[in-house]
Chain A
Amino acid sequence: MTTTATTPTTADTSAAPDGLPLTISAAAAALRDGSLTSVALTQAVQARADKLDSALGTFIGRYNETALAAAAKADEELAAGVDKGLLHGIPLGIKDIIATSDGPSTAQSLVLRPEFGQFEDGRHDALVVSRLRAAGGIITGKVTTSEYACGMPDESKGFPTPHNPFGLDYWTGGSSAGTGSGVAAGLFLGGLGTDTGGSIRIPASWCGISGMMQTFGRVPKSGCVPLGFSYDHIGPMTRSARDAAAMLAVLAGHDESDATSVDVPVPDYVAALTGTMEGLKVAVDLTSLSSPKCDPAIAELTLAAIEVFKQAGAEVTEITLPFFAELDTTAMTGLFAEALAYHQTDLQKRFLDYGRNTRKMLTSAAMITAADYVQMQRVRRVGVKAVTELFGQYDLIVNPTGIIAAPPNGALDYEGLAGTILTSYWNATGNPAMSIPMGQNALGLPAGLQIAGKPFDEATVFQAADAFQLLTDHHLAEAPTVLEMLA
């Protein structure tokens, strides 16, 4: 049955049947009213991981002892009145292409050099991980990714295969697979993903959570294995938009360690959540709903979501995004052109150590000429101009994140996904874009709505997403499979 309920809810009291807070906001409130400690919360998510991880394939490595030590410290600080903000004492998961001092990174590949993240004086955190720790976040472990943040699940290389909490036979989406499944299953309350062509928004959509790819350059990427240098983002994945706003407030801000980092002020994203869309001009592109590949339930959910936007006060106008196919090409071939520069020497020597889909995607870029690559960048400029003109008329642009829900793990086909995922357009232009849950299809698999904004105006994207979630409860849906395994 398609779920289109619009039940008013508040995120700050949400809890699972076992008492685990569903959101960072709910946990933060409980940590401050004395009903929960960070140690108890961390132990609870670790207990969930003990029960669920073998079925979900979420973790590459768990840091139970260091996480509990950090939680104990957070409890001491909060008790002493030292409050570092909403992430203080909150368990988080880190995609395994982002360096952490607790243990090695693999990028879920046999090829990544073991010295990645390792310096003479020991292992180092990526800048984003340092920022999360400084805000009191608890690092629970490193979580699964598609190999090198591309490719698809590949059981032949000895790494865990990610499974969707809403249906274990289905893919989580990628590449931020473990972050998606881990947040959805309550193995941590928030996490870091990366997004080069949709790798935050796709698993967010298919696992029923919220995922933000902020403006290119907003969050420094130093300490993260690159994929497409001019398309990559590190961003937050959480159940609610409010939680993602709290995480981005910590992650964002210029740092010269990343050449693409942009020095612009970071607003108080949480304070900017007004709970309404009154006064917002929202353009919607429904072109994809007429595709023969579109799941009819997702078409229905998208139209229902647009009605919620109107209910929340938005002024909605239908448009068609310009240069959609061409910008998709510039992202989905351009990112591999950039990736090939990083991988070519390894592909020459260790081709078969890469997973089959990964080496196929990376090597496809060998068929691109230098002129093709520069032409992609010229088309990106044309696209940015066209999108800038649209954003002169509208505050936000909305379309479904994809027109299918998660495909079965046993039938994954990269070419078959072509035209079904609508995320890469915004990697080409660099605008912020977020996926939020909008319901489930006939199989009970989640689907996402994509909201894009003006460059460096994530605040308005969050405002709309939060207002939507105040009128709906899709982001709080618990996977029946998870509840059964916990029972």
Chain B
Amino acid sequence: MSPTAEETVTVMLAAAGITVPDDEKAEFVAAYPAFRASLDALYAVPMSHEEEPQLIFSPFV
């Protein structure tokens, strides 16, 4: 079973080490499904499976 939005938000905030008041956490939980959907939509953009990211590492400073 997939974790709930509240479970995911709780874990992600804890992983980042950020403690937020309950009312503000509730806002993150409420917003999470739409936020996640907007990110999931990026994986549906047609592209080569080998497409590279626009940010390219350089060995020079």
Contact = CB atoms under 8 A, between A and B. Distances in A.
Given A259-B61, A344-B16, A372-B39, A377 B31 contact: no
Interface stretch (A35-43, A68-76, A159-167, A322-330): A322-330
B53 A356 contact: no
Nearest to B58: A259
Contacts of A360: 24, 27-28
Name the interface size band of chain A: 20 to 34
A366 B15 contact: yes
A375 B43 contact: yes
A348 B42 contact: no
B47 interface: yes
B39 A351 contact: no
Contacts of B36: 367
A364 interface: yes
A325 B41 contact: yes
B39 A368 contact: yes
Which secondary structure characterizes the binding site on chain B? helix
A94 interface: no
Contacts of A366: 12-13, 15-16, 18
Interface string A377-391: 111111010000000
A363 interface: yes
A235 B51 CA distance: 32
Given A367-B28, A367-B35, A379-B42, A348 B17 contact: yes
Nearest to A343: B18
Name the interface size band of chain B: 20 to 34
Given A230-B55, A326-B45, A348 B18 contact: yes
A380 B42 CA distance: 10
A363 B20 contact: yes
Contacts of A377: 53-55
Contacts of A356: 24
Interface string B30-58: 01100110110111011100011111000
Q: Pick from B27, B41, B55 the residue with the most CB of A within 10 Å.
A: B55
Given A329-B39, A360-B27, 7 more contacts: A333-B38, A360-B28, A366-B16, A377-B54, A378-B52, A382-B45, A384-B54
- A-B interface, 6 closest residue pairs, ranked by CB to CB distance from nearest: A377-B53, A366-B16, A380-B54, A381-B54, A348-B17, A329-B38
Interface of A: 230, 259, 323, 325-326, 329-330, 333, 340, 344, 347-348, 351, 356, 359-360, 363-364, 366-368, 372, 374-382, 384, 415
11 contacts: A230-B55, A326-B45, A363-B13, A364-B28, A364-B35, A367-B8, A367-B32, A372-B42, A375-B39, A379-B47, A384-B54
Interface of B: 8-9, 12-13, 15-20, 24, 27-28, 31-32, 35-36, 38-39, 41-43, 45-47, 51-55, 61
